[in-house]
Amino acid sequence: MINNILFIDDDNNVLDGYKSIFRNHSNAELDAISELLEVGKKEEAFVDEGEYRVFTATQGIQGLDIVEKQKASSDPIKVAFIDMRMPPGMDGAETAKMIAKIDPNVEIVIVTAYSDTKLNEINEKIGRSDKLLYLKKPFDPMEIKQLALNLCHKYRLERLKDEFIGHVSHELMTPLSSILGFSDILRKDPTLPEKEFEPAKVIYNNAVLMRDLVDDLLSVARMEKRPIDLTLSCISLNQFLEQTDNICRILIEKNPKISFEVEKDQGEIVLTCDMVKMERVLTNLITNAYKFTREGIISLTFNLTEDYFCFNVSDTGIGIPVDQLNNIFDKFKRLENKHHGLPGLGLGLSIVKKIVEAHKGTITVESDIGKGSTFSILFDRNSAFKWSNVNGG
């Protein structure tokens, strides 16, 4: 399989140097490459360990074009090395952010010569950390080669993992649907002897739990394959809140130490969004709030101004450590705490984030250990999520 690697740098000489790295060279040639790249001397001759196709672009915008075309032709770019400063166009962080939007699977390496640019600031700008590396100049050409080799390998393993998850969860869903359907009939059967009622209920409840887990796996596999399709429709804010309230209240009322508060709209706001997916977002956040709260209050509130609409899901639960606030949206991320044994795969928040982003919104979280957490979903007027007052405005 060919490994497509993209280099974006405003200096053509540097691009030539990168291209040369992926050919076999004598030591003398390698010295010349090092000079071309203005980087440290090589230590040993390269050995080609795979097949590479090198793409180059002198500006971020051209790089985006290449990523888009390769993705459309099902021959995607696997790794992109991006120079941090590329006047007069977009800088490396902006380019990386746009590439991640076009194809979230691309592994990105930001090449930076400037110690003045704080890496955590670039991190925040790009907004992802699991497919992002930094390489500081001066570097040895061998570093580029090894990085490319390993990142292509990582890319392939991740695609294999996605395929595996998609396949296994699909195969599990069919037998699970039968167990779910028949145990539902069984538990409702009036002729069922009393001593068999409890086991039937346990089978049914566990089948529901498994269905939800497999459903999350399937959703993730689908989202990895293609962008989320939104089916937009209109609904009054009150009806939307009421539906969410009805779904979640049944769960939350199981714990009498928790009260559940859902704000009501005093006006007549109408929403346009993918209702089913947005409902999934809120129920997911509220279910998490329930899982990680022993007592207190869970609330669903909203704020709106001329320019933005925001949903807030707050709890008085265990809270999330500050250094984990960004990571919890990563796939399969679960925090190590005494609640680790609760059912879950660590996929809920990654699905939530993808749905919010598909509506062009953002999700943030604030938390205080031992006091609780608030997840906020924000949409501005450019989002796919729209709101208006039936009386105009």
Judged by the rule CB under 6 A, the positions of this chain that interact with ligand ADP are 288-289, 292, 315, 317-318, 320, 328, 333-335, 344-350, 373
- Give the shortest CB-374-to-ligand ADP separation in angstroms: 9
Tokens of 67: 């990523």
Task: Tell me 189's DSSP state.
Answer: -
Residue nearest to ligand ADP (CB): 344
- Give the shortest CB-383-to-ligand ADP separation in angstroms: 23
Q: Which amino acid is at 103?
A: D
Interacting residues of 79 by C-beta distance below 8 A, sequence separation 6+: 3, 4, 5, 6, 106, 107, 108, 109, 147, 148, 151, 152, 155
How far apart (Å, rounded) are the C-alpha atoms in residues 142 and 41?
A: 9
Contact indicator for 80, 99 with CB cutoff of 8 Å: yes
Tokens of 99: 């590439």
- Give the shortest CB-225-to-ligand ADP separation in angstroms: 20
How many CA atoms lie within 13 Å of 107's alpha carbon, on the beta-carbon side? 20
The most distant pair of C-alpha atoms in the chain lies apart, rounded to whole Å, by: 87
Contact indicator for 39, 140 with CB cutoff of 8 Å: yes
Q: Which is nearer to ligand ADP, 70 or 283 (CB)?
A: 283
- Give the shortest CB-194-to-ligand ADP separation in angstroms: 35
Question: For residue 347, which phi and psi values (nearest 5 degrees)?
Answer: -110, -25
- Give the shortest CB-49-to-ligand ADP separation in angstroms: 36
